[in-house]
Structure formats: C-alpha cells, structure tokens
Amino acid sequence: MGVENYHVIELVGEGSFGKVYKGRRKNTGQTVAMKFIMKHGKSEKDIHNLRQEIEILRKLKHENIIEMLDSFESPQEFCVVTEFAQGELFEILEDDKCLPEEQVQAIAKQLVRALHYLHSNRIIHRDMKPQNILIGAGSVVKLCDFGFARAMSTNTVVLRSIKGTPLYMAPELVREQPYNHTADLWSLGVILYELFVGQPPFYTNSVYALIRHIVKDPVKYPDNMSSSFKSFLRGLLNKVPQNRLTWPALLEHPFVKETSDELEMKELHATSVATRGCNPTWRGEGNANLASNVSSPGGKIDAPAGFQDKNSVNTPNAQLNSPNSILGNNSHLEEFPGFVSPNDVKHSGCQTLDKLEDNSRTVKGAQVISQDTEALTHILGQLQRWSEMSQNSCRLCNLNSLSFYS
C-alpha cells in the first residue's frame, strides 16, 4: 500500500521533522493522520535509524499511544500513517487555562500507562509536551510523536535541544548530560503541574534564564493541591535522576494507582473493543462505497511532490510475545540502569483471557488475547451459548467443559 491509496485532505500540523496531513484511506473511508518526513539534510545513519525506528513503532499497540497503521517512502521522504485524533491537550490549556485536580488525575493515569508501556519496551519519548498529547474519542488520551526524535543522531538532538524551548525538559537534558527513561517522567510532572496550575513550574521568556531555573530553583506548589498530588509531583520533579520516582514504585503511588472499579471497567472495555473489532463496519472498513463519494471541502489535495510508492518500509509482521521482545537482543536503544521490566503486569486487564493465551499460544500476531478477534469470537460465542441454556444438568455439563478458560 502506498500514498496513492489515500486522499490527502488538509494540512493539520507542521513540526521540526515534517508536515502532518489529515487523510482518508480510499477503500475504507477511515480518517488518518499522514506524517511526511523529509530525507534532505539527514545522514545515511539517520535514515537507517529512522527506518529501524518505524519498524519498532509499527509493533507498539496500546490504547494510550497513537497507533501506526502504515508507512512507506520515496527517494525524497518518508510517510508514516497513524490513527487520527482530533484534539490536542495544548488546546485545552489554551481554552481552560487549568483543570480541576480530578481531571488532571484521570489524564495522569492514562499517561502513566502509556509511558510504562514505552519504557517496558525500552523506548524513551524525549519530547513530552502538551502538543504531543492528543485527545481521542471518549476523552481517551493518546501519546504521539515519540521515537522519531531519538531516531536521529546525537548531534541532531543536541542541536534541536538548544534551539527549542526547554519548558518540559529534565535538568540533565538541558545540561546536555547523559539521561535515561526518567527524563520522560520529569516531563510528565511538568505537564501535570501545568494542567493544574495553568503554567509550567518554571516559566520565562529567556531561554537561558529558563535553563538556570530548571537546573537550580525549587518547584513551588500551590496550597490548593492535594497532598497525594503534591507527593506524586515531588517524586517526578526531582532534579537528581537517580532519586526520581520511577517504575515499579510509580505505579503504586496513590495518585495514579488504579482502583478496583477502574480495573473492572478497563477489563470490560478491552473485551468490548475486541468484540466490536470483529465487525469490519465498526472500524470504517465497510464504508468503501461511502468513501468513494465523499470529497473534502477544498477538493483532493495532492501528496507532497515527488512522492512515489517505490520503496516500501513494510516488513512481515512479527510475533509479539512480551513487551520487551520488540527490539530483540541487538537493540541500539538505551539501557535503563536499575530498571526492572514488569513481566507480571496485566497488559490487557483480562486475567482469564491472558491466561488462556499463555496456555494455548493460539494467538497469531497479537500481543494479548484481547487483540485476537478470532479467538475472542470463539470464546465469547461459547460463553453466550452457555449463558442462554436452561438451568439443568446439561448446562452443568457444559459448565464443566468450560473449565479450561479459568
């Protein structure tokens, strides 16, 4: 599949690595985001790393991370196609200035899940800021624009760090010192502080003064902030990376630890989404006829000049057996000293179904069984037929036959 399979509708954003267009897949009508990344000015090493990074990101599947749907390249540029999320957290800050703590807490829990997933896969975002946090349907928070910055060479990143506004950068980053995944956790703290207070903990128009504040000045916390929230931010906004709140203790902090009701709702949601995924019309794949008759207000916009689908970045799908298997043993990614990968984390929230996956290994290309619609259809169909049976010995017999699910 190449760019000719998409209608490019309109420009929706522009960043340091390229332009982002709103698009529509021709055969399904699905609305997508198309990010075009120019090759000009990048070294062969940069290009190689970017190709490798695209393949890594393709395999990441998490409800709070923008999903990559497709990618291809031309001699001039790369195109990365992702799901489309309408709003930015940055826009909420512009409109409302600040949010009540309850809403900040709900956003924090989702961002923690996203970062935990990325860090479990040994991926550092390095550019956490409100502009890179999108709001999808149902107020689901989605993290985007990770990976591409760290796919560039060290010199490129350092140069960009100096030219950019380091509002959300950790002290070790603005001082150009070695860093690890805890730099993302500092940025998370700054974002949550800004959501509640209305501005970052350190804010000035002078870049050099801002760097001095980030490195030396203590954070001032407002009186109307709860003790739990303040404790959480103190852990994240520690200027010494080794002393910063990190995994796995971060997940157990009262401010972001999920309640039993939230875990139950998460399990029901995961099952519901997986079941709906069996119906192609739910995901827009039954709307081919509709899509062919729809035109954008300004008509069809051509893709950036010179783009041809000659060199696809696609590779055969890889099996995902654990969150740490994405990169393989020869990864060039940073190691995290002292970081213990959470192998016992309930990734889907569906313990029974995950156990079935571990026992049967029938899932083809899915990270967790909640992504395997074929298996779920079989399981849920059996359970539905059993639940509709009358209360008799026959139903008890069938109950015994279902024992392997638990």
Residues labelled catalytic: 127
Strand-pair partners of 38: 77
Q: What token pair was written down for 56?
A: 């890594």
CA separation for the pair 70, 362 (Å, rounded): 25
* Segment holding 32, helix H or strand E: strand 31-38
Q: Which residue in the block uniquely carries the two structure tokens 């298996």? A: 375
Query: Cα–Cα–Cα angle for 46, 116, 48, nearest 5°?
Result: 10
Count Cα atoms within 13 angstroms, Cβ side, for 61. Answer: 19
CA separation for the pair 113, 216 (Å, rounded): 30
End-to-end CA distance of the chain: 41
Burial class (CB in 10 A: 0-12, 13-18, 19+), 287: middle
CA separation for the pair 146, 124 (Å, rounded): 8
CA dist 365 → 72, 101, 216, 308, 355 (Å): 21, 39, 48, 29, 17
Number of neighbours of residue 122 by Cβ within 10 angstroms: 19
For the annotated binding site for ATP, the residues are 39
CA separation for the pair 371, 273 (Å, rounded): 9
Q: What token pair was written down for 349?
A: 């929230």
Count Cα atoms within 13 angstroms, Cβ side, for 229. Answer: 23
Count H helices, E strands: the chain?
14, 9
Q: What token pair was written down for 290?
A: 């509709």
Do residues 249 and 238 lie in contact, with contact meaning Cβ atoms separated by under 8 Å? no
Q: Which residue in the block uniquely carries the two structure tokens 């010199």? A: 155
Query: Is the alpha carbon torsion for 139, 324, 189, 234 positive or negative?
Result: positive
Number of neighbours of residue 358 by Cβ within 10 angstroms: 11
